[in-house]
A and B are shown apart, each in its own frame.
Chain A
Amino acid sequence: MSMDTEVWQVLGLAPTGDARAIKRAYAALLKQTSPEDDPEGFQRLREAYDEALKQAKAIAADATGEADGAAGQEAQDGRPERGARLPAWGEANRLALRRKSREAPEESERTEKRDPSEPATRRQEQPGASGTASSPEAPGAGRSGEVETFMRRLHSIYNDYASRIRIEAWSELLESGQLQDLAFKQEIQPELLRFLAAHYQLPLPVWRMLDRLFYWTEDEIGLTRLVPPEFAAFVIDSIRQPSELRFEFLPAAPDFDPDEFLGLRSRGASLLRSGRLREAVEDFDRACEMFGFDPDLLRLRATALHLLGEDLRAEEDWRAILHSYPGERDALLRLADRLLDTERASEALGLIRRALDLLPNDPAALLALARCLRELECFAEARQSCELALLLEPSDIELRIRLLELRELELEGLLRVLKRYPGDREARFAAGELLLELERYEECEALMTEAPLYGLTSGMKALLGRALLELDRAEEAAPLFDQAVETADSERPDGCYAKLRRGLFRLRLRDLQGAEADLLAAASLGAGGHELAAGLAVCAHSARRCEEALAYIDEALYGKPDSRYHHFRAHILYDLKRYEEAIAPLDLRLDFEQEPMPVFWMKGVCHMKIGQYEEAMEYLSRARSLDDSVTVRYRLAELYIRLERYEEAAAELQDVPNKDDALLLLLGYACRKLGRRGDALRCFVDAANLAPRDLRAARFALDELAAGGDIAALTYAERILEASPDDIETQMRRLSILFEYGRTAEARQALAEMLDRVSPGGVHPYIRHYAGTLLLDRREYAQAAEQLQYAYDAGLRDDTASLLSIARFETGMADEALRLAREVLAAEPEHADYRARLERMEGKSKTSGILRLLQGRPNRESWPFSVKLRPLLFAPRDEPPYDTEVVWT
């Protein structure tokens, strides 16, 4: 293969005299050929480019006057011109042609259906059918008229630079009704992509317009089916480019090649992004030689030069931008930075003010302003500027560093003033505040006390108090805060500063009532800020006004998103049982906490309370690994119980010394679940004795004792009933114990009281049982039957049913009595009483009902049913000794 042919093959072009086409092809290939990744390829491309340009001149000279004709001939022959020579197109073209070839019949049909009046020849001459592609300038035989016209318009807009950068021109074409037609869109898409492969220097809005039409970014895979992946990536990058280089500044001179310029500029930008700064600057230089007034080009070059340390040249570029475009904010700020670095603050000041006019409250500009004012020795103004910037950009460490410097410088100035005018109390107070901010407390104290002749204002007294407080001399500080408030009150009503400071001081001493009064007074006088709000939150929380505390702490957080405030907020939410909400602020605190155990603990508990046991286990275990305290072990044991891991719960609590009542209850509960009733009983009784006022502990003791029929249960039952006389469960247990131990009179009285107190509908079935039994014992059978029937209907069986059978029998309902007696015996065939009762009923039942009535009321001798007052057994209530609610907020 000859060198001549190879040159054109490398560029993907047919030999041409069109230098612009060669440049375009070269620029497109450059995007795919990196000198670093493929140095040989890059070298080959570069040589081909140079050689092609040389040959182009010769071709152009030879073909003068024939070029148009030749192109026309090519078109007539149906030979591919643009499709073959466009660099990024090669493979894409073939793919597209193959696709078209496959789709050709369908396309024909669709076209036919859409517009049957179209000439048949057109439908027959699809590019796929001929296997060739054609150029828009030289329409091939297979291209439809619509496509051809569209592509002509496309070329026309692109080739006229003024139209190319006019977005309206593109909107007119691309948003026309034609492209609403799906078939047309499908047909035009490959042509359009082919066009873009060679005509890609388009404003970003045009790329985005195309994307809205063809959904390339939404369907990248679809795009790679049409074009090679590299070109698809180029298209996507062009649409998604984060930086929009502007097109509108280029000159309209006829000898100016915008594509070459734009190619150099975009390649330079790409080199800049990849860190090849020197090469980037070379491209920018070449572009600048063509046209040196493009603000984007100058900005890019200045950026690259700055990164190369060539700030002098960069400065020239920034100046050049501002010369032509005085409103370029980037240039204003960058040039100001440069001027500040080279001690030209006065000149910088004007630039920064212009930048701030364009975008007020820009932290970067405010910092620059602060630097500038510092150089101009306007320290107070500089500090204000820095403080404002810090409010807007609190994470900026430079602002904090500069602020520290500025405070020092301002302080020096104030100290100089005080040397000359020691009676200037405002300057003294300001200097004192700066000393405090700079943590120079001893100097602050000295400054406040060195000129007693001039007296101390309220603010100065409070300031001195603060300094002493920082020096751990709280006792000396206390009267100073009081004096500050007194002075403020006597001098003028506005004692805001003094009250705020004394309030915060009192807060530190945990004098919460006094603190709250001062802080509220300060707030009413106009004080604000996060310290005040946080202080009020602490006061409200300590007074159990949690909702109010929450509002205050939110206010504090608004002023300063400090993790300690988040932590406190979590505490409040925890107390409000809003456990789920408490988790996020705890997470925020964890990042900063030096001693994370309490945070782990609270987070674990919060997770447990909302049923997230896995997370709860993680955090409580972490807390446990850091701390052996009862608080942690208690919650971990609770979690084990919730997870029914009773052995682990008991093990966690067993060896805790001096167990308190809550812990004993938890341990007792675990023991009960493990079947260790004796241990459980000991724990509950100990807990109830440790906390005699704790009804919950008394209930646990009562339950366990009553279940075992222990007369000691009465002690706890009475303790509970004293506080809670309507506690039915306790009443029942007491009753059962009274019956058990034959204290019938007390039982009867208790029962009568219970029946008096409770409405008939609300009477517990056990009470009915006992009432029925007592009535039966008094041979008041009808009333007994009524009570026992209630109990029976409520589900009580055994004794209830057996006693009911007696009552029924005695009221003449022998059949019903027998049925019940048999049912009871069937359930417990070995029960001697049940058997005896049935046998007696069966024997007696042989006597007719009338005869029995004639015999009159039976007595115990003649009709001795054994009515034993056997107590009912009460199993312990299965309620764990902790809040079981799952709180979802």
Chain B
Amino acid sequence: MMDESAYKRALQWAMALGAPLLESNDAEPPYAFEDCDFGVGGMLEEQWGVTEAYDVRNLAERMWAGMHNPSFQEIRLLLGGMTLAERRAYIGRIDRNTDRYADFYTVNLYMDRLPPAGIAAWDWGRLAFYVRCARMTGLIGEAEENAYLLNTALRARFAYRSWPDYAVAYMAGRQFWRRDISEEWSEINLGQLRSLLIGRRSLWRELEWEIDLPEPPNLPEYGRDER
């Protein structure tokens, strides 16, 4: 049984998965619920159609299954059968002005360095943030938030090896989603991670990646009437 302090650290660790988005919304570590006062507005509804607790569960399941990762992995498999030289030649034949080129370029850039989980970090990191947003808008309570966070944390913990590895996968996912392979966006993306990677107060520096995580609580079930 995990003691209270370790449990708290585990929750902080899980919340830190969403740190890039939390930081860009001016939240400060350790991202305690009470200290999060950024404007959530109708973001969840506008972006994801989330208006009730059931939708949060649905969103979590979609994120765990992978939103952008499946497309990434599909291209990764296609390129996986080729040699490095063949990959470069194959991508070189795609029209540079197309989305397809950006997709293939990004996958080729990162596929050999990412673990089998690919860019799942991008989905899971966003989920941690959205779960906090859901709690802030009152769609879910603390217990539900913890359940979602710890279930996400468990996936991430064993899919990646370190916070920098997680950061690479997260930002590779962001690049893949944005289909932007420009130097400038790469710099902007790094700016989002800078304080997390080298900041004195960063949770990513404070909490070791190989943290002990508790058995995640059961996820909330929603009956038909609750939908």
Q: Footprint of B on A, CB under 8 Å?
A: 242-244, 269, 272-275, 299-300, 303-304, 306-309, 329-330, 333-334, 337, 341, 364, 367, 393-398, 400-402, 404-405, 408, 438-439, 560-563, 591-592
Q: Are A364 and B112 interface neighbours, CB within 8 A?
A: yes
Q: A764–B110 Cα gap in the complex (Å)?
A: 77
8 Å CB interface, B159-196 against A: 161, 164, 167-168, 171-172, 175, 180-190, 193-194
| Nearest-Cβ distance from residue B146 to partner chain A, whole angstroms | 28
Cα distance, A563 to B189, chains bound together (Å): 15
B208 within 8 Å of A (CB atoms): no
Are A243 and B86 in contact, with the CB atoms below 8 A?
A: yes
Q: Which residues of B contact A300 (CB under 8 A)?
A: 81
Q: Which 8 A-B pairs have the closest CB atoms?
A: A394-B183, A243-B82, A397-B171, A395-B181, A400-B190, A398-B168, A242-B90, A395-B186
| CB closest residue in chain B, given A396 | B109
Please state if A307 and B80 are interface contacts (CB–CB under 8 Å). Answer: yes
Our pick among B81, B171, B180, B184 for the contact of A562 (Cβ within 8 Å) is B184
30 contacts between A and B (CB under 8 A): A242-B82, A242-B90, A272-B80, A275-B73, A300-B81, A304-B80, A307-B76, A308-B116, A309-B115, A330-B84, A337-B112, A341-B161, A393-B109, A395-B109, A395-B175, A395-B186, A396-B109, A397-B168, A397-B175, A397-B186, A397-B189, A398-B113, A400-B186, A401-B171, A401-B193, A404-B190, A404-B197, A439-B194, A563-B184, A592-B184
Distance between A530 CB and nearest chain B CB, rounded to angstroms: 11
A242 CA / B104 CA spacing, docked (Å):
13
| Contact among B78, B90, B183 for A561, CB-based, below 8 A | B183
Measured CB to CB, the closest approach of chain B to A589, in angstroms, equals 10
Chain A neighbourhood of B1, CB < 8 A: none
In the bound assembly, the distance between CA atoms of A395 and B188 in angstroms comes to: 11
Are B198 and A337 in touch, CB under 8 angstroms? no
- B201 CB, nearest partner CB in chain A, Å: 13
Pick the residue among A309, A329, A394 that contacts B84 (CB under 8 A). A329
Contact residues on B (Cβ < 8 Å of other chain), bracket: 35 or more
The CA of A690 and the CA of B54, in the complex, are separated in Å by 67
The answer to whether A330 touches B83 (Cβ under 8 A) is yes
Docked CA distance A307–B116 (Å)? 5
The CA-CA distance from A404 to B167 in the complex, in Å, is: 12
Given A309-B116, A364-B112: A401 in contact with B83 (beta carbons within 8 A): no
The reply to whether B77 and A272 contact each other, CB–CB distance below 8 Å, is yes
- Which residues on the A side are within 8 Å of B73 (C-beta)? 275
Q: Please give the distance in Å from B106's CB to the nearest CB on chain A.
A: 8
With A333-B84, A401-B168, A405-B164 already in contact, the answer to whether A395 and B110 are too (CB < 8 A) is no
Interface status of B215 (Cβ within 8 A of chain A): no
Which residues of chain A are within 8 angstroms of B188 by Cβ–Cβ distance? 592
B189's nearest neighbour on chain A, judged by CB, is A397
Q: Are A306 and B81 in contact (CB under 8 A)?
A: no
Q: Which residues of A contact B81 (CB under 8 A)?
A: 243, 269, 272-273, 300, 303
Contact B167 A401 (CB under 8 A): yes
Q: CA of A563 to CA of B188 in the docked complex: distance in angstroms?
A: 12
Q: Give CA–CA (A400, B84) in the complex, Å.
A: 22
Q: Given the known inter-chain contacts A398-B110, A401-B164, A401-B197, please indicate yes or no for A273 contacting B186, CB distance below 8 A.
A: no
Q: Determine whether B61 belongs to the interface, using a CB cutoff of 8 Å to chain A.
A: no
Residues of B within 8 A of A306 (CB): 116
Alpha-carbon separation in the docked complex, A243 to B180 (Å): 26
Q: Are B86 and A242 in contact (CB under 8 A)?
A: yes
A563 partner residues in chain B, CB cutoff 8 A: 184
**Given A244-B86, A275-B74, A400-B187, 8 additional A-B pairs, CB 8 A:** A242-B90, A243-B86, A272-B81, A303-B80, A329-B84, A397-B186, A397-B190, A401-B193
Indicate if the CB atoms of A273 and B190 lie closer than 8 Å: no
What's the nearest-Cβ distance from chain B to residue A877, in Å?
Answer: 47
Q: In the assembled complex, which residues on chain A have CB atoms less than 8 Å from the CB atom of B76?
A: 307
Main secondary structure of the interface of A (DSSP, over half): helix
Q: Is A395 within 8 A of B190, CB to CB? A: no
A581 to B180, CA, bound (A): 23
Which of B74, B76, B168, B188: most chain A Cβ within 10 A?
Answer: B168
What separation, in Å, do the CA atoms of A330 and B83 have in the docked complex? 7
List, in ascending order, chain A residues with CB within 8 A of B164's CB: 401-402, 405
Which residues in window 99-131 of B have CB below 8 A to A? 109-110, 112-113, 115-116
CB closest residue in chain A, given B102: A395
Q: How far is the CA of A562 from the CA of B187 in the complex (A)?
A: 10
Instruction: Name A404's contact: one of B84, B175, B183, B198 (CB within 8 Å).
Output: B198
Are the CB atoms of A273 and B116 closer together than 8 Å?
no
Q: Which residues of A contact B78 (CB under 8 A)?
A: 273
Contact flag A337-B83 (CB < 8 Å), given A395-B181, A395-B183, A396-B186: no
Q: Cα distance A395–B171 when bound, in Å?
A: 11
Least Cβ distance of A588 to chain B in Å? 9
Min CB–CB distance A324 → chain B (angstroms): 16
Question: What is the minimal beta-carbon distance from B202 to any residue of chain A, in angstroms?
Answer: 12
B178 → chain A, closest Cβ, in Å? 10
CA distance A273 to B74 in the complex (A): 8
What's the minimum C-beta distance from A585 to chain B, rounded to whole angstroms?
A: 13
Task: Report the nearest A residue to B187, measured CB to CB.
Answer: A400
Closest Cβ–Cβ distance, residue B138 to chain A (whole Å): 31
Q: Are the C-beta atoms of A337 and B113 separated by less than 8 Å? A: yes
Q: A242-B86, A244-B86, A404-B194 are in contact. Are A394 and B80 (CB under 8 A)?
A: no
Which of B112, B115, B188 lies at the interface centre, i.e. has the most chain A CB atoms within 10 A of its CB? B112
How far in angstroms is the closest Cβ of chain A from B94? 11
Q: Please report the C-alpha to C-alpha distance between residue A330 and residue B88 in the assembled complex, in whole angstroms.
A: 12
Chain A residue, CB-CB nearest to B164: A401
- The complex places the Cα of A397 from the Cα of B164 at a distance, in Å, of 11
User: In the complex, which residues of chain A have a beta carbon less than 8 angstroms from the beta carbon of B86?
Assistant: 242-244
**Given A273-B77, A395-B182, A563-B184: A438 and B193 within 8 A (CB)?**
no
A401 CA to B168 CA in the complex, in Å? 7
* Segment 35-88 of B: residues with Cβ below 8 Å from A: 73-74, 76-78, 80-86
Q: Please measure, in the bound complex, the distance between the C-alpha atom of A561 and the C-alpha atom of B116, giving whole angstroms.
A: 33
Contacts of A560 in B (CB 8 A): 183
A299 to B187, CA, bound (A): 34
- Find out whether the CB atom of A299 lies under 8 angstroms from the CB atom of B77: no
B186 A334 Cβ-Cβ under 8 A: no
Please indicate the chain B residues that have their CB under 8 angstroms from the CB of A402 in the complex.
164
* CB-CB nearest in chain A for B174: A397
**What chain A residues lie within 8 Å of B109 (beta carbons)?**
393, 395-396
Q: Separation in Å of the A537 CB from the closest CB of chain B? A: 18
Residues of B within 8 A of A405 (CB): 164, 197-198
Q: Which residues of A contact B116 (CB under 8 A)?
A: 306-309
A564: shortest Cβ distance to chain B, in Å? Answer: 9
Q: How far is the CB of B141 from chain A (nearest CB, A)?
A: 36
The minimal Cβ–Cβ distance linking A771 to chain B, given in whole angstroms, is 67
Q: Is the CB of B112 within 8 A of A275?
A: no
Most buried by A among B80, B175, B181: B80
Chain B residue at minimum C-beta to C-beta distance from A367? B113
How distant is A302 from chain B, measured CB to nearest CB, in Å?
Answer: 10
Whole-angstrom CA separation of A684 from B73 in the bound complex: 68
On whether the beta carbons of B82 and A561 are closer than 8 Å, the reply is no
Report the minimum CB–CB distance from B69 to chain A (whole Å): 12
Which B residues touch A273, using CB under 8 A? 77-78, 80-81
Identify which of A394, A396, A563 gathers the most chain B CB atoms within 10 Å of its CB: A396
A563 to B187, CA, bound (A): 12
Say yes or no: B77 contacts A274, CB within 8 Å: yes
Contact residues in B for A275 (Cβ distance below 8 Å): 73-74, 77
Inter-chain CA distance A496–B154, complex, in Å, is 54
Q: For the complex, what is the distance from the CA of A395 to the CA of B106, rounded to whole Å?
A: 9
CB distance from A182 to the nearest CB of B (A): 31
Chain B residues with CB under 8 Å of A591's CB are 180
Taking a contact as CB atoms closer than 8 A, the residue among B82, B85, B167, B186 that contacts A394 in the complex is B186
A269 to B180, CA, bound (A): 30
